Amino acid sequence: GTRCNMKVTSRSELITISLIIVSNLIVTPVQSISCYQCNSSFNSQCSERLHVKTTLLPTPCNEIYGAKYCVKMSGVVEGELGTKRFCSSRDWGNICEFIKLSGGNTYRRSCVHTCYSDGCNAGHSNPPFALHIFISIMIVIVLFS
């Protein structure tokens, strides 16, 4: 009797808490995305992969109208070897190709990576948003199995 009702209440509370957690992860207030913004031509910390102890931080993309993407370009960027990170209002895609350098037969790999969560253009491939969703789903599965 009473024990069964307590279990149902406890289970419904867990479901409610789980739904609140997931909805908080999915629903975000309208604000601009924050991205790493740097160019290796001017800042040596803006390398292919950001060092764990870098002083660079994601900054709000308020100066770009409609910014909803972070972009990382590496390899041949604007005719030079390097890395550039910036905010964008358009999806640049995710592609790598070999580009011939001027004045020779040398080809260099050049990549562009577009993502859509805060600080996602650091260089790692796992977007934080996807990780949060995965962890939330795993918590719900563990709680109800």
User: What type of residue is 107?
Assistant: Y
% of the chain residues with pLDDT over 70 = 77
The residue ranges of every structural domain in the chain are: 34-135
The token duo for 62 is 């308020």
Judge whether 79 and 115 are in contact, CB under 8 Å: no
CA 96 from chain centre, in angstroms, equals 18
**pLDDT: which is higher, 21 or 75:** 75
Which phi and psi (to 5°) does residue 102 adopt?
-70, 145
The token duo for 35 is 């991205």
Rounded (10°) angle between helices 128-143 and 2-26 = 170
Residue 37 pLDDT grade (very low, low, confident, very high; cuts 50, 70, 90): very high
Q: Where are the alpha helices (DSSP H) in the chain?
A: 2-26, 128-143
User: What digits encode the pLDDT tens for the residues 116-131?
Assistant: 999 999 985 444 555 5
| Strands, E assignment, 12-143 | 34-35, 38-39, 59-60, 69-77, 80-88, 95-100, 107-115
Specify the CATH class of 34-135 in words: mainly beta
Q: Which of 77-81, 83-87, 120-124, 138-142 has the lowest mean pLDDT?
A: 138-142
Sign of CA dihedral 9, 11, 14, 18: negative
Instruction: Report whether pLDDT(20) > 60.
Output: yes
- What is the pTM assigned to this prediction? 0.62
> Count of residues for the chain?
145
Most confident of 19-23, 39-43, 129-133, 134-138: 39-43
Q: Residue 86's closest CA among 128, 33, 36, 31?
A: 36
**How large is the average pLDDT for residues 82-105?**
91
